Amino acid sequence: MWDDQGVTQGFLGAPVMMQNPVKLARIWREAICSNGKFALDKNPSRSLGYPAQDLARSYFRQWQPIKDKRSLAFDENGAKIANFDPYKDSWFDYPLVVRNKLGGSWELYNLLTTIHVPACTFSCWHCYVDDQAKNLQQMLKRDSIEYVSASDIVDAFLSQREMDKERGRKTNVLRVSGGEPFLAPDLILQILKYLEMKDLSDEVFVWTETNLSPFLKDDGSSKSLVEEWVDLRELAKYANLAVHPCLHGISPSNYHNITQCDPYYFDGLLSGLDMLVRLRFDVYPTIGSNVSPPSMIPYIFRRIRDIHKDLPQRFALIDYDLLYPPTRERILKTLKPTRLYNKLAVIRTWDRLLKECYGESYPVKPRHMVSL
């Protein structure tokens, strides 16, 4: 039996922590949208443990993906950088991806101005966002929500660009994060349309993520949830958009252990990834190298390759940072040792499979050069 929050109830109503992401998605979706505006976290920097400063709006935060060149596997011409070590450094290539689309230097795209959709269908133990900051009901009680329009966001972002320009910084990427951004896919589309109307599609890039849960379907339905909320084909047409699908789990049991969701839905998440690829979204997926069991890497590799023969080459294996305050607190309360895995074994196995299938190691070419 499911309660109103989409949690399975056990004997005498005791929660057994088996979340229904479809039911949760519908609950959060209804709360996110109000009179043509969308809910944002008023102060996302608070949850992440560092103060916001020099921001045009409190609902912005900023992130610099590449803090030094150890996170760059390739230069701007696509040539491999000799000192990049995938066993020590996570592969953050966002600025190079955007640079490939819009031109110029990658430094133009190395400062992402981020908004947070404050709701999520998963309860990942390694999430860097505070649990309350992903629960709209709690956020509304704390007066931590601001409802804004897409045009409000873009206009504020343009003010942020000017502020950063005066300080000698470049801000050309608007990131829609969360929580789960695809609970508000129409917000993403409206942002892109407004940028297009202002002739800024060649200057401003939109980067977003998804845990793929909005791509699930109600039992018996032919349409995914997200297809009820937005025209995905229209959204996929925008060249100044990239989507980062995060696989939070590489098998049904691993997915449940990370997210607390019913493992029944795991196959539906892979179907969502398949939908993104079929509709020709520009996708840059990831799995967590330190939260994935090495023994299941061949399984997920095959499942991904069944979606598209070259899709494994689009994947980055990222090392989840466990030092964010919300993550540290969650670990101290609940983490079981079996939830962390040897990332070196994961990368070695992935590397072996890439060599067997493509004759190339990880990472051997820029992800944007892998054609889907």
pLDDT tens, position by position, 130-175: 888 888 888 888 899 999 999 999 999 999 999 999 999 999 999 9
Q: Which of 213, 253, 261, 337 shows the shortest CA–CA distance to 16?
A: 261
The separation between CA 179 and the C-alpha centre of its own chain, rounded to angstroms, equals 9
pLDDT for res 336: 56
Q: Which of 2, 21, 15 shows the shortest CA–CA distance to 264?
A: 21
Q: Residue 337: CB partners within 8 Å, gap ≥ 6? A: none
**Residue 59 carries which DSSP code?**
T
pLDDT for res 199: 98
CB 371 within 8 A of CB 310: yes
- CA 317 to CA 339: how far, in whole Å? 17
pLDDT for res 67: 82
Tokens of 345: 């074994």
Q: Residue 316: CB partners within 8 Å, gap ≥ 6? A: 90, 91, 93, 284, 285, 286, 363, 367
Burial bucket for residue 100 (CB in 10 Å: 0-12, 13-18, 19+): middle
pLDDT for res 4: 35
CB 112 within 8 A of CB 165: no
25-369: CATH number: 3.20.20.70
pLDDT for res 69: 73
- CA 268 to CA 215: how far, in whole Å? 7
pLDDT for res 239: 97
For strands 286-288 and 145-148, give the pairing. unpaired
pLDDT for res 340: 86
Q: What is the pTM of this model?
A: 0.93
Q: In 92-182, which ranges are continuous DSSP H helix? A: 94-102, 136-141, 150-166
Angle at 45 between CA 44 and CA 51, to 5 degrees: 155
What residues pair up with 241 in beta bridges, in sequence order?
206
CB 194 within 8 A of CB 235: no
- Alpha carbon separation from 356 to 73, 91, 257, 298, 313 (Å, rounded): 21, 21, 30, 12, 12
pLDDT for res 14: 39
Q: Residue 85: CB partners within 8 Å, gap ≥ 6? A: 70
pLDDT mean for each 10 residues of the chain (372 residues): 36 58 95 94 80 86 85 85 86 93 94 95 91 83 94 98 93 96 98 98 98 95 96 98 98 95 97 98 97 97 98 95 86 71 96 97 93 94
For strands 33-34 and 15-19, give the pairing. unpaired
CB 301 within 8 A of CB 362: no
**SS3 assignment, position 148:** strand
- CA 9 to CA 20: how far, in whole Å? 11
